[in-house]
Amino acid sequence: MLRKIVVMLAMVCMCFGNAYASYPYESVCPDGGDLTSEGHYSILQKPDPYDPNTWYWSDKWAFAQCNCTSFAAYVLNDYGISFNNSYRQPSGQAWHHGKDWNDAALRAGITVDNFPIPGDIVYWENMGSYGHVAEVVTVDYSSSTSWNKVFIKQYNGNGNHEYSEKWIYPSDNPSGFIHILAYEEGIDSLHYLNCYEMDNICDNQTHEEWNWIANKVWNDYRCTNCVSTYNPNKIAVVSEAFAGMGGGSADSEPGSKPDITPDFDILHQDGHEISANCDNCPTENVNPNQVITMRLEAQVNNRDVEESDLFNSNSQSIDGEVFCRVRGITDWQEIPGSEDVMEFDVDNLVTDNNTSLETLNYTVPNYPGEILDCKANVDSDNEVNEQSENNNNSRVESFFINNPQSQPTPEFAWNSSGPISEMECIQILETADPDTWDDNYFCSKEYEGISWSSAGPIQGMRCTQITEGAEPSNHTWNDNYLCVTNESNLNFYWSSAGPISNKNCVQWLETSDPDTWDDNYLCWNRDYQVPNQFPEGWLDEVSCNQIRGWVRDPNTTSPIDVHFYADGEAGIGTFIGKTTANQIRPDLPFNDKNHGFVFGVPEILKDGHQHTIYAYGIDDREEYNPLLNGSLLLLEECYIFSNNNDNSNTEGNSDISIPLDFQIN
């Protein structure tokens, strides 16, 4: 039966294991490149220390090019999924690094478990500093519930920003398998159904394996509350053939018999809806033991027959049932009492609006960190003389059950009732506004050097104006600014008309303020390039024993290197060595004092001749390496004496220190 259904749908299979020579960033990845903290690739082996060559990092999906996440995004888009760093993420959230993909998937309602299927993204949370992701191409199964090994394709698997492929085993300890492609099944394409039907094309698994893979996708992994581009009747038929969970109500076609369809919603106890009834509408998370309300409405569609023909039994009611499960842990279970409470009276169903509405409370089970699925059914006893019985199942509503002990700390957060514990918070205070602006705080995960001003921009900082045009002038919101240090890579953007696309945003909401604060958002990115300031320092002393001085790069508190040349500037003179300026110099006029250096004079200069010393501070961005103040000091005639009688060495001690009052740029 299923094969006939797929022929009717006339799908074309997209096979697994595509060739990835067309990955668009392969040709621009530098050989031996390394991604620096500034977001550029720098070549590790350069011809000289003054080469400023850098590589821009971002691909078109907002991931770092030639990294594992960029390649995974390419693979998913190659399957037809419009995947990028903000795919199905709430405002202010993203997929980020490989180690973050599990949390991002849960936010999107996508299943993550330990069972691989082709097309999955496998991830390692603790591989290196950023984790790792790769594509699952083929799985060697030992049974329908276990696996022996998985063939993967990846980029940057060895830290070299290159493509590779290999088998992995359970001993490689993958953190889990993310079912993004399976989640999209039935939305814009039918990958797994087609591979089951045309396994001679998708030949990386057997027909038997494609059978239970497709069953698992349709019963456990796919999004059943997403709007499909296919006719819902067709999706319902395919779902029924897989003994699945429905897939939403189809629009009824004209006919001589009616259809009974459910409209299933889930509500917070305060009455607002928390279920998603449209494409890309995220549900709210729920908490363990939270009480939520199930609302089921039975609808009579295309009722063009007499009331006496509506039912084929003497019953005066239609049953409704609600089922829930904890995905991957419990089976579908009817909510206690739903069959009794969800009972629709015939008299209500034949009124002008042709609907009947019932509600039932339900307590969320105590399974933190898991996915709760709920669905409903009407006409469970088949009492209605229907045109079609494929529409009796509702779409499935899915919720992430919060884990209070493991919620990740956001990068930034807003609170209108005091500071947030374990975050760095600043008070957002406007004393002229009477609408409870004395307890609002803007918080960051780490210290960011952020300051608030209600009296104009702060001198010496980069500031963003925070304003609400609907506020009365006497509330003085025209001079409020949020500021960051000039060294910060943060760019803040203020919007009074909702979040800004392609940026991280957090809502600033004071519910007690009536002046339209419900659409105000602070957004940010980290693409601000701090202007480069070149190293500064002095060459204090040149003697036959040592060369001494200090150097500091204003862009960083970390020590930098000093390069030394004799008898000519860099490129002309003789390179005699380098050292790191990391010694404590209490006399330096900075809070960070670790910028002194002492360099031993090499023996090649102890030849009885004078030598001119050139010292260069090495810029941390390798843009310009200035000659230190005091360079061109003379190393007077130094010698190495050999005493054959006692085998001891003595050196000439003709020391000289000539501070010159000029700098060479």
Q: Let me know if 449 is exposed, middle or buried by CB neighbors in 10 A (0-12, 13-18, 19+).
A: middle
CA 186 to chain centre: 25
pLDDT of residue 259: 57
pLDDT of residue 201: 60
Lowest mean pLDDT of 89-93, 213-217, 607-611, name the range.
89-93
State how far the Cα of 560 lies from the Cα of 549, in Å rounded to an integer.
13
pLDDT of residue 12: 32
Give the residue-averaged pLDDT of 203-215.
85
Decide which of 5 and 108 is more confident.
108
660 torsion bin: left (phi>0), alpha (psi -120 to 50), beta (else) = beta
Give 3's pLDDT tier (boundaries 50, 70, 90). Answer: very low
State how far the Cα of 470 lies from the Cα of 519, in Å rounded to an integer.
11
Cβ contacts of 462 within 8 Å, gap of 6 or more: 483, 484, 485, 486, 488, 528
Q: Answer yes or no: is pLDDT of 227 > 90.
A: no
Q: How many CA atoms lie within 13 A of 72 on its CB side?
A: 32
Lowest mean pLDDT of 81-95, 343-357, 423-437, 650-664, name the range.
650-664
Judge whether 624 and 534 are in contact, CB under 8 Å. Answer: yes
Give the residue among 275, 235, 325, 233 at the shortest CA–CA distance from 11: 235
Lowest mean pLDDT of 180-194, 213-227, 370-384, name the range.
370-384
Judge whether 595 and 585 are in contact, CB under 8 Å. Answer: yes
* Mean pLDDT over each residue of the chain, to the nearest integer: 76
Cβ contacts of 509 within 8 Å, gap of 6 or more: 414, 416, 517, 518, 520
Decide which of 106 and 354 is more confident.
106
Q: Answer yes or no: is pLDDT of 645 > 60.
A: no
pTM of the model: 0.39
At 441, which amino acid appears? Answer: Y
C-alpha angle with apex 492: 491 to 495, nearest 5 degrees? 140
Long-range CB contacts for residues 582-585, cutoff 8 Å, separation at least 24: 585/550
Give 492's pLDDT tier (boundaries 50, 70, 90). Answer: very high
Lowest mean pLDDT of 49-63, 140-154, 248-262, name the range.
248-262
Give 344's pLDDT tier (boundaries 50, 70, 90). Answer: low
State how far the Cα of 232 lies from the Cα of 247, in Å rounded to an integer.
7
pLDDT of residue 529: 72
Decide which of 354 and 563 is more confident.
563
Give 660's pLDDT tier (boundaries 50, 70, 90). Answer: very low
Give the residue-averaged pLDDT of 341-345.
59
Q: Let me know if 354 is exposed, middle or buried by CB neighbors in 10 A (0-12, 13-18, 19+).
A: middle
pLDDT of residue 636: 82
Lowest mean pLDDT of 98-102, 166-170, 325-329, 509-513, name the range.
509-513
Judge whether 544 and 650 are in contact, CB under 8 Å. Answer: no
Buried b (16+ CB within 10 A) or exposed e, 507-526: ebbbeebebebeebbbbbee
Judge whether 363 and 289 are in contact, CB under 8 Å. Answer: yes
Report strand pairing: 546-552 vs 594-600: antiparallel
**Between the ranges 49-53, 221-225, 375-379, where is the mean pLDDT highest?**
221-225
Give 453's pLDDT tier (boundaries 50, 70, 90). Answer: very high
State how far the Cα of 561 lies from the Cα of 460, in Å rounded to an integer.
29
Q: Answer yes or no: is pLDDT of 218 > 80.
A: yes
pLDDT digits over 232-273, tens only? 666 766 776 665 433 333 333 334 445 566 777 888 766 777
pLDDT of residue 521: 92
Q: Answer yes or no: is pLDDT of 281 > 80.
A: no
Buried b (16+ CB within 10 A) or exposed e, 540-552: bbbbbeebbbbbb
600 torsion bin: left (phi>0), alpha (psi -120 to 50), beta (else) = beta
pLDDT digits over 615-628, tens only? 999 988 778 899 99
pLDDT of residue 538: 94
Decide which of 411 and 203 is more confident.
411
pLDDT of residue 18: 44
In the chain, the percentage of residues whose pLDDT exceeds 70 is 71
**In sequence order, what DSSP letters do the residues of 154-179 get, joined into one string?**
EESTTSSS-EEEEEE-GGG---EEE-
State how far the Cα of 267 lies from the Cα of 282, in Å rounded to an integer.
14
State how far the Cα of 350 lies from the Cα of 298, in Å rounded to an integer.
11
Token pair 């006497």 is found at 474
Judge whether 118 and 139 are in contact, CB under 8 Å. Answer: yes
Instruction: Tell how many helices (H) and how many strands (E) occur in the chain.
Output: 9, 36
Give the residue-averaged pLDDT of 270-281.
61
CA 254 to chain centre: 46
Q: How many CA atoms lie within 13 A of 655 on its CB side?
A: 13
Cβ contacts of 173 within 8 Å, gap of 6 or more: 124
pLDDT digits over 363-377, tens only? 888 888 888 888 887
Judge whether 629 and 615 are in contact, CB under 8 Å. Answer: no
3-state helix, strand, coil in the chain (%, to 5): 15, 30, 55
Q: Answer yes or no: is pLDDT of 53 > 80.
A: no
Q: How many CA atoms lie within 13 A of 5 on its CB side?
A: 18
First to last CA, the chain: 82
**In sequence order, what DSSP letters do the residues of 58-100 get, joined into one string?**
B-TTSSBTTSHHHHHHHHHHHTT----TTTT--TT----SGGG
State how far the Cα of 361 lies from the Cα of 235, in Å rounded to an integer.
30
pLDDT of residue 443: 94
Give 509's pLDDT tier (boundaries 50, 70, 90). Answer: confident
